[in-house]
C-alpha cells in the first residue's frame, strides 16, 4: 500500500488529469477512478533495509526525549513508511478529504512469502474495487461493467521515490519533529516538512511509533490551511490475514463484463520530441508517452510527468485546437493548478497539485528538442 495523500496524483495526473482539462474534452464519468482507491494502489515499493534513527520506531520513546534526538531526513521518514506499508499485514478504514470532497475506503494488505496482495474497496459512492498482486492491478468497475488489468508503474507516486529524489528532498524541506499523538487508537510521531522555496507545499505526517507506518497525512498551503488529508479511522496492524480477505468481492459477477488489459507505457521508452529546460530544483521527469484516442482529438497528445517525490505535475503538448482561441495563462480546474501557453503552433498545458509557481515554471520549461 502507498499512503499517498500528497501525490496520489502521479497516477491521477498520468491517467486522469488530461480528462479534466476542458481544452481536450471530457471523459465519461466511470473512467474517473475514486481518488482514494487510486491513491492507495498507485505506488510500488521495493523492500529496503533502513538504518533506524534514534527514537523513530522503537515504541518506547517519550515525546520529551524524542524532541532532543537527531531528526531524520525527509527521505528516511518516507522510506521507513514505505517499507512498513509494503511488508506488514494490516487492515483498516481510510478517509480521504480534499477541498470539501470526502471518500472512504476499506483496505486489506497481506505480505506473504515475498508477495504483496492488497484489496481496496470504496465504501461510499459508486462501487469500485482494486485488487493488487505485487505490480499488477485489477480494477473492478461495476458502473461500466468493466474489469481493467494494468501494471503498477514506477511513475505512479509516493513512496516509490527515485534515488535522485531521495537525495534532493532533504535539500528542499526542513524537517521538524513535533509531538506524539494518537491516531486510530495508536501512538504516532508527528512530523512537519517545511518547504525551503516557493515550489512546494507544507506537509504534516503521523507515523506509528513501533512500525513507522503512515497513519495520517496532511498537505497545507502557504497560509497553513489544509488542502487534503488522508487518515486511518481504524486500523489493525499485524496478525493473520486470510487470503480470502484480499480476493475481490466483485469477481463473481463479471461473466459479461468487458476486460481491458493495458500495457505499461514505460516499456516503450517513448520520445515525444519535447523536453524540459530549466525545471524547478528537485523536479525530474518520471514518465513520457503519447496519449491516444482522446475525446475530440485526432492526433496523439504528448504527455510528460515531473515530480520532486512529493508533488507531481503533468504537461501536455498538442497542436492548437481549431475554433476559439484557448485560454492562456494561469487558471484553476477544481482543486488543481493549471498553466497554459502557446509555443508556435502548439498548446502546452501543465496541470497538477503543486503550488502555482511550480506549475508555471514547469509549463514554461517545456521546449522542442
The per-residue pLDDT for range 91-142, each reduced to its tens digit, is 999 998 887 888 999 999 999 999 999 999 999 988 899 999 988 889 999 9
What pLDDT does residue 297 have?
Answer: 66
The boundaries of the domain holding residue 78 are 9-261
CB 272 within 8 A of CB 304: yes
Strand extents, DSSP E, the chain:
90-98, 101-112, 115-122, 129-133, 136-141, 146-151, 173-183, 186-195, 202-208, 214-220, 226-237, 258-261, 274-276, 284-291, 301-307, 312-319, 329-333, 336-343, 346-352, 366-368
Q: Cα angle at 193 between 102 and 41, to 5 degrees? A: 45
Segment 50-66 mean pLDDT: 38
Residue 210 sits in the same domain as residue 284: no
Domain boundary among 261, 284, 302: 261
Query: What's 335's DSSP letter?
Result: T
Interatomic CA distance for residues 262 and 149, integer angstroms = 6
Q: Write out pLDDT tens, residues 219-241.
A: 898 888 898 898 999 999 999 99
204: left (phi over 0), alpha (psi -120 to 50) or beta: beta
At 269 the three-state DSSP class reads coil
What pLDDT does residue 156 have?
Answer: 38
Residue 168 sits in the same domain as residue 110: yes
What pLDDT does residue 43 have?
Answer: 37
Structural domains of the chain, count: 2
> For the stretch 199-227, what's the b/e string if a residue is b when 16 or more beta carbons lie within 10 angstroms of its beta carbon?
bbbbbbbbbbbebbbbbbbbbbeeeeeeb
Structural domain contains residue 86: yes
Q: Residue 162 — very low, low, confident or very high, per pLDDT cuts 50/70/90?
A: low
What is the CATH number for 103? 2.50.20.10
What pLDDT does residue 308 have?
Answer: 85
> For the stretch 72-96, what's the b/e string if a residue is b when 16 or more beta carbons lie within 10 angstroms of its beta carbon?
bbbbbbbbbbbbbbbebbbbbebbb
Q: Whole-model pTM?
A: 0.76
Q: Helix crossing, 74-87 with 163-172: angle to 10°?
A: 130
What pLDDT does residue 111 have?
Answer: 94
Residue 230 sits in the same domain as residue 285: no
Q: Pairing state of beta strands 146-151 and 366-368?
A: unpaired
The DSSP string of 194-243 is EESSTT--EEEEEEETTT--EEEEEEE-TT--EEEEEEEEEEEESS---G
How many residues can be counted in the chain? 369
What is the CATH number for 335? 3.30.200.100
Bridge partner list, 346? 319, 343
Residue 254 sits in the same domain as residue 270: no
Ranges 162-171, 181-190, 199-208, most confident: 181-190
What pLDDT does residue 338 have?
Answer: 93
Domain boundary among 261, 288, 305: 261
Q: Write out pLDDT tens, residues 338-357.
A: 999 999 889 999 998 889 99
Residue 266, pLDDT > 70, answer no
231 burial type by CB count under 10 A (0-12 exposed, 13-18 middle, 19+ buried): buried
Interatomic CA distance for residues 295 and 22, integer angstroms = 11
What pLDDT does residue 199 have?
Answer: 93
CB 107 within 8 A of CB 236: no
Higher pLDDT, 67 or 173: 173
CB 158 within 8 A of CB 7: yes
Residue 165 sits in the same domain as residue 257: yes
φ/ψ of residue 271, rounded to 5: -115, 110
- Which of 128-132, 161-165, 171-175 shows the lowest per-residue confidence on average (mean pLDDT)? 161-165
Bridge partner list, 340? 329, 349
Mean pLDDT of the chain: 77
Residue 136 sits in the same domain as residue 28: yes
What pLDDT does residue 15 have?
Answer: 36
Residue 47, pLDDT > 90, answer no
Q: How many CB atoms lie within 10 A of CB 154?
A: 18
Q: Cα angle at 170 between 82 and 183, to 5 degrees? A: 45
What pLDDT does residue 300 have?
Answer: 83
Domain boundary among 243, 261, 279: 261
Interatomic CA distance for residues 213 and 88, integer angstroms = 9
Amino acid at each position: 500500500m502507498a499512503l499517498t495523500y500528497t501525490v496520489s496524483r502521479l497516477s491521477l495526473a498520468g491517467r486522469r488529469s488530461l480528462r479534466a482539462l476542458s481544452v481536450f474534452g471530457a471523459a465519461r464519468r466511470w473512467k474517473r477512478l475514486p481518488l482514494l482507491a487510486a491513491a492507495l494502489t498507485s505506488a510500488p515499493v521495493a523492500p529496503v533495509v533502513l538504518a533506524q534513527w534514534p527514537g523513530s520506531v522503537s515504541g518506547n520513546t517519550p515525546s520529551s526525549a524524542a524532541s532532543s534526538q537527531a531528526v531524520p531526513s525527509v527521505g528516511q521518514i518516507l522510506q521507513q513508511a514505505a517499507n512498513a506499508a509494503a511488508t506488514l499485514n494490516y487492515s483498516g478504514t481510510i478517509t480521504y478529504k480534499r477541498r470539501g470532497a470526502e471518500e472512504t475506503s476499506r483496505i486489506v494488505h497481506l505480505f506473504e512469502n515475498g508477495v504483496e496482495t492488497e484489496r481496496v474497496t470504496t465504501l461510499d459512492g459508486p462501487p469500485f474495487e482494486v485488487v493488487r498482486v505485487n505490480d499488477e492491478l485489477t480494477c473492478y468497475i461495476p458502473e461500466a461493467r468493466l474489469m481493467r488489468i494494468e501494471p503498477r508503474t514506477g511513475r505512479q507516486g509516493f513512496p516509490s521515490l527515485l534515488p535522485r529524489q531521495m537525495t534532493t528532498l532533504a535539500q528542499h524541506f526542513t524537517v521538524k519533529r513535533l509531538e506524539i499523538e494518537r491516531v486510530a487508537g495508536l501512538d504516532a510521531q508527528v512530523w512537519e516538512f517545511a518547504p525551503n522555496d516557493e515550489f512546494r507545499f507544507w506537509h504534516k505526517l503521523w507515523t506509528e511509533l513501533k512500525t513507522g507506518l503512515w497513519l495520517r497525512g496532511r498537505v497545507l498551503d502557504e497560509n497553513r490551511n489544509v488542502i487534503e488529508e488522508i487518515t486511518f479511522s481504524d486500523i489493525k496492524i499485524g496478525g493473520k490475514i486470510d487470503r480470502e480477505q484480499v480476493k475481490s468481492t466483485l469477481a463473481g459477477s463479471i461473466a459479461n463484463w468487458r476486460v481491458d488489459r493495458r500495457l505499461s507505457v514505460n516499456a516503450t521508452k517513448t520520445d515525444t520530441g519535447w523536453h524540459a529546460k530549466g525545471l524547478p530544483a528537485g523536479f525530474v521527469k518520471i514518465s513520457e508517452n503519447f496519449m491516444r484516442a482522446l475525446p475530440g482529438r485526432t492526433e496523439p497528445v504528448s504527455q510528460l510527468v515531473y515530480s520532486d517525490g512529493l508533488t507531481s505535475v503533468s504537461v501536455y503538448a498538442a497542436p492548437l485546437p481549431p475554433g476559439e482561441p484557448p485560454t492562456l495563462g494561469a487558471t484553476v480546474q477544481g482543486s488543481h493548478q493549471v498553466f497554459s501557453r502557446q509555443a508556435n503552433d502548439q498548446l502546452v498545458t501543465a496541470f497538477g497539485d503543486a503550488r502555482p509557481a511550480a506549475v508555471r515554471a514547469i509549463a514554461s520549461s517545456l521546449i522542442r528538442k
